[in-house]
Structure 1
Amino acid sequence: MLYQRVLTGIIGGAFFLLLVYVGGYGFLILFSVLALVAYSELIGMRSDPYFSVQSIIGYAFVLMLLLFGTETSTYLLLGLFLLLSVPVVTKNRLSYSDISYYGMGALYIGLSLHAAVLIRLHLEHGLYLFLFVLLCIWASDTMAYFVGGLFKGPKLWPAISPNKTFSGALGGLFGSSAVGYAFFLWQGLGHPLSHWMVLAIGISLVGQIGDFVESAIKRSLHVKDSGVLLPGHGGVLDRFDSLLFASPFAYHVFVCLGF
């Protein structure tokens, strides 16, 4: 299991970082595929069919949000209107609570990953800043795992994620802060240390919240992993839950601080 996990991480990570470095259409295609797979995992966690009327509308909605965000309300309204019409077309075989799951899922994945696209492709130092976000998340997750395993202590939120501890959360903050300090020393882009630390600590905190949100979704649907696409790692949502929350936070802070 450990060998499988490490091998998947090395191969998948190398391919992912290659397309992040390339940017442009390669990056857009990568994140479009990730978004569609993540959305299919949300559908699969409910044991719903992957190719129904509502799921196909949902896939299209996710792509519209990923590529265009809220730059025009047309795409947002079109997706919502189409989803809201499904109970009518199916004669209430699907309830509006079911459709809410599809709509919220599209917003959760599409808009969150749109922020990642904005960081990488629209900011002046997009590659540098996107790598900063990724490294903050990676350092936070890694330190949380090792520090939490070493010191244990009180559980952070056992009803949602029984293995996470306060010591692990603090370890995550320390790991992300170390990345912020390293990037300031390496190439601060004319910004003070305080800017980098606000970003690093915020990315860790928001990323950990994203982890809890995905855990809550899985627990409510009685599933262990979001999918099985990544051997030893679970699904795409399991790997990118922190990025889904951290990207919008990071993008808006980057813009506010003038990066």
Structure 2
Amino acid sequence: MKERIVTGVIAGIVFILLIVIGQLPFTIVIIGLASIGLFELLKMKKIASLSIMGAISLIFMWTIVIPNQWFETGILSNFSRSDLLIGFIILFLAITVLTKNSITFDEVGFVILSSAYVGLGFHFLIETRLLENGLSLLFFILFLIWSTDSGAYFAGRSFGKRKLWPEISPKKTIEGSLGGIFCALFIGLIYHYFVPISDSIGTVIIMILVVSIVGQIGDLVESALKRHYSVKDSGNILPGHGGILDRFDSLIFVLPVLYLLHFI
């Protein structure tokens, strides 16, 4: 427990400082975290990171995660993101033939979906910070996710009786889930009172509910992955906390949904 607390405090302080600094340092670190997250997924599938497939997968994910402005200047300005993604997908499919099916269609499908899952989530983390109100908005989203986790934990321990989804995550309860949502509403409205997020309180409430509910779904997605591949944690880079995906599973699932709903 002591190791978990120390790691959590140090990692939390460093991450908050990076968010405040923003700009290139934040972008570089997030790309690095996304790279580690992808390697964690490849390891689950027993695809070696230090292999041709691992290297191509990493470059493919980078094509997804890098900020939009990088395609507007420099050498990347000669390409569009969609052109590169299509090219990579064709390359992945060709690899199944060139390797005489030692790299299978199943592995290629896994890599493409994994790169999209990790790349899109961390991409919108970078893009959110780059917004004019990115700092306050990103902290708002993070506080909602953290308060959901805390509320669900304490409500589950105190009142939890009915299992939420035992086949995926045996310890989670319906009462804990509802407790997380109520805690997010409480913290989110307090945050909005001091740092207004929108002119409409209705929009703020809807956003809070979306972040809290979708964040819990993101946590279950990661739990389903780990259960399917029979691993306890996605990695061990954070002592007492597991891997990068264990810590960012809710956030990288929430951000693309907020983008689709035009909240970011």
Task: Quickly name the TM-score band, shorter chain normalised.
Answer: over 0.9
What is the aligned partner in structure 1 of residue 230 from structure 2?
Answer: 222
Distance 2:235 2:33 in 1: 12
TM normalised by structure 1 equals 0.94
Q: Secondary structure of the residue that 2:66 maps to in structure 1? A: helix
Q: How has the CA–CA distance of structure 1 residues 46 and 178 changed in structure 2, closer, same or farther, with 3 Å as cutoff?
A: same
CA positional deviation for 1:150: 1.0
Where in structure 1 do 4 or more consecutive aligned residues deviate above 4 Å? 68-71
State the TM-score, normalized to the length of structure 2: 0.92
Specify the alignment match of 1:171 in structure 2: 179
CA distance in 1, matches of 2:142, 2:224: 23
> What is the rounded CA distance, in whole Å, between the counterparts of 1:68 and 1:30 in structure 2?
13
Q: Secondary structure at the match of 1:205?
A: helix
Determine the structure 2 residue equivalent to 1:13: 12
The aligned residue for residue 86 of structure 1 is: 95
Distance 2:159 2:95 in 1: 50
- What residue in structure 1 maps to residue 74 of structure 2? none
Cross-structure match for 1:233 = 241
Give matches, 1:114-129, under 5 Å: 114-121=123-130, 123-129=131-137
Q: Over aligned residue pairs, what C-alpha RMSD do you find?
A: 1.6
Deviation at 1:191, TM superposition (A): 1.4
Bigger Cα displacement from structure 2, 44-53 vs 126-135: 44-53
What are the equivalent positions in structure 2 for 1:27-176 lying under 5 Å apart? Answer: 27-68=26-67, 72-121=81-130, 123-176=131-184
1:189 Cα deviation from its structure 2 partner: 4.6
Tell me, in whole angstroms, the C-alpha distance in 2 between the residues paired with 1:43 and 1:154: 34
State the 1:68 CA deviation: 4.6
Distance in 1 separating the partners of 2:95 and 2:151: 45
Contact 1:133–1:250 (CA<8 Å) still a contact in 2?
no
Contact 1:53 1:86 in 2 (8 A): no
The answer on whether the counterparts of 2:160 and 2:175 sit within 8 Å (CA) in structure 1 is: yes
C-alpha distance in structure 2 between counterparts of 1:169 and 1:131, whole Å: 22
1:234-253 equivalence runs, <5 A:
234-253=242-261
Aligned-partner SS, 1:156: strand
**Structure 1 gap ranges (5+):** none
Q: 2:144 touches 2:208 (CA, 8 Å); kept in 1?
A: yes
Residue identity matched to 1:116: L
Contact 2:197 2:204 in 1 (8 A): no
- The structural deviation recorded for 1:250 is 2.5
Give the SS at the match of 1:56. helix
Distance in 1 between residues matched to 2:198 and 2:119, nearest whole Å: 32
- 1:12–1:79 distance in 2 versus 1, CA, 3 Å: same
- In 2, the alpha carbon distance for the partners of 1:92 and 1:67 equals 31
Contact 1:180/1:199 (<8 A) preserved: no
Bigger mean CA offset, 74-83 vs 99-108 = 74-83
**Aligned equivalents of 2:260, 2:129: Cα separation in 1:** 13
Distance in 1 (CA, whole Å) between partners of 2:155 and 2:198 is 33
Structure 2 unaligned spans of 5+: 72-79
Q: Is the 8 A contact 1:118 1:251 kept in 2?
A: no
Q: Structure 1, residues 9-68: CA drift from partner, whole Å, max 9, x if none?
A: 011111111111101001101110110000000011123211122111111111110015
Of 183, 187, 197, the residue aligned with 2:191 is 183
